[in-house]
Amino acid sequence: MGQITEVFTEQVMKEMKAYYYKSLEKAPPGAIFRARINNVVITAYRSGKVLFQGDNNAIEAEKWSHQRKNQIPVKKRTESSSQHDRVYKPSSSLFTSSHIGSDESGTGDYFGPVTACAVYVTETQITELQRMGIQDSKAISDKTVQHLAKELVEMKIPYSLMNLHNEKYNQLQRSGWSQGKMKTMIHHGVIESLLKKMDAAPYEGILVDQFCNPPVYINHLRSEGKTLPEKSYFMTKAENYSIAVAAGSVIARASFLKEMDRLSNEIGFTLLKGASQKVDQLIALIIETKGRDILSSIAKVHFANTKKAEKYL
């Protein structure tokens, strides 16, 4: 079983515990919490160390890589580091102003695509969307996600949606792209598309649900000849603060669920979400009945689940 060890501040570990609250287990001595999700065990210790154990540990660790303690300046802050914060961190006024928010879905699921959505919300629409119950898609049921996404579309809220289908995902992964780069480019794609749709509509800023350090995001863009749009900001768990990011989360998740239904109908199996042991067993069944080659069109084949499924064959 693979293991990754990172060091975080007490505050970040509190955020992690809240994030994994549905997956918490009994913590060992000296630990703040232990959680099990997607075949990964996350154990946080009072010393600040957090262990990510399991074949899919890199996927979970990457979610928190931008908050590692050794990346947080603890000595005298320089002018450049202060400028770094001013550039990438939004002010609280953004959340009550007209702005764009983007989020993605499907990155931790073995089956199905990665979907991303950018949404433009005006200042006057914020209260209405809050009353509708728009929130982080992970906090509501799939049925509610699909209902809210339909309402958002019917309201003609400006948005741009993109699906990175499995064939293309696997092709990019084989060519050397990390999942982080794929997420960067799909976020950039929907934001760029939405800006064109909006024409000259005013907005305070663009908020991306942060999954990596902003400089890493920017380097991914540069490697493909792209640049970060002006007034772009990054924030972890942005969907809890920005109604635009939350709306993007809902539409992206609804699209992911729709694609999962489509793929399930095509191959004759109900594809499972996540990356659990049950997913491993389903992979083995699909290989036995449909052949191994079909996985490239329905799954993220570099996930450890592909190898783990072999013990069920």
Instruction: Report pLDDT digits (tens) over 214-266.
Output: 999 999 999 999 999 999 999 988 999 999 999 999 999 999 999 999 999 99
Whether 105 shows a pLDDT value over 80: the answer reads yes
Per-residue model confidence (pLDDT) at position 20:
83
> Tokens 């914060």 correspond to what residue?
85
User: What pLDDT was estimated at residue 68?
Assistant: 65
Q: In this predicted structure, what is the pLDDT of residue 30?
A: 86
Per-residue 3-state assignment (H helix, E strand, C coil) for the chain: CCEEEEECCHHHHHHHHHHCHHHEECCCCCEEEEEEECCEEEEEECCCEEEEECCCHHHHHHHHHHHCHHHCCCCCCCHHHHHHHHHHCCCHHHHHCCEEEEEEECCCCCECCEEEEEEEECHHHHHHHHHHCCCCHHHCCHHHHHHHHHHHHHCCCCEEEEEECHHHHHHHHHCCCCHHHHHHHHHHHHHHHHHHHHCCCCCCCEEEECCCCHHHHHHHHHHCCCCCCCCEEEECCHHHCCHHHHHHHHHHHHHHHHHHHHHHHHHCCCCCCCCCHHHHHHHHHHHHHHCHHHHHHCECCCCCHHHHHHHHC
Global pTM value = 0.75
Q: Tell me: pLDDT of 83 over 50.
A: no
In the numeric block, which tokens belong to residue 87?
């550039």
Interhelix angle 166-174/179-198, rounded to 10 degrees, is 130
DSSP state of 187: H
DSSP 119: E
pLDDT tier, 8 (very low <50, low <70, confident <90, very high otherwise): confident
Between CA 19 and CA 106 the distance in angstroms is 17
pLDDT tens-digit readout, 14-34: 888 888 887 899 998 889 999
**pLDDT tens track for 266-280:** 999 999 999 999 999
- The predicted pLDDT at position 205 comes to 96
Residue 185 pLDDT exceeds 70: yes
83 strand-pairing partners: none
Helix or strand run (H / E) with residue 206: strand 206-209
State the SS3 of 42-63: EEEECCCEEEEECCCHHHHHHH
Read off the DSSP letter of residue 74: -
| pLDDT of amino acid 72 | 39
Question: Can you tell me whether residue 303 is helix, strand or coil?
Answer: coil
Sequence-distant (≥ 6) Cβ neighbours of residue 5 within 8 angstroms: 49, 50, 51, 52
Question: Quick one: how far is CA 152 from the chain centroid?
Answer: 20
Residue 310: Cβ-neighbour burial (10 angstroms; 0-12, 13-18, 19+): exposed
Is the Cβ–Cβ distance between 69 and 48 less than 8 Å?
yes
What is the arithmetic mean of pLDDT over 273-300?
96
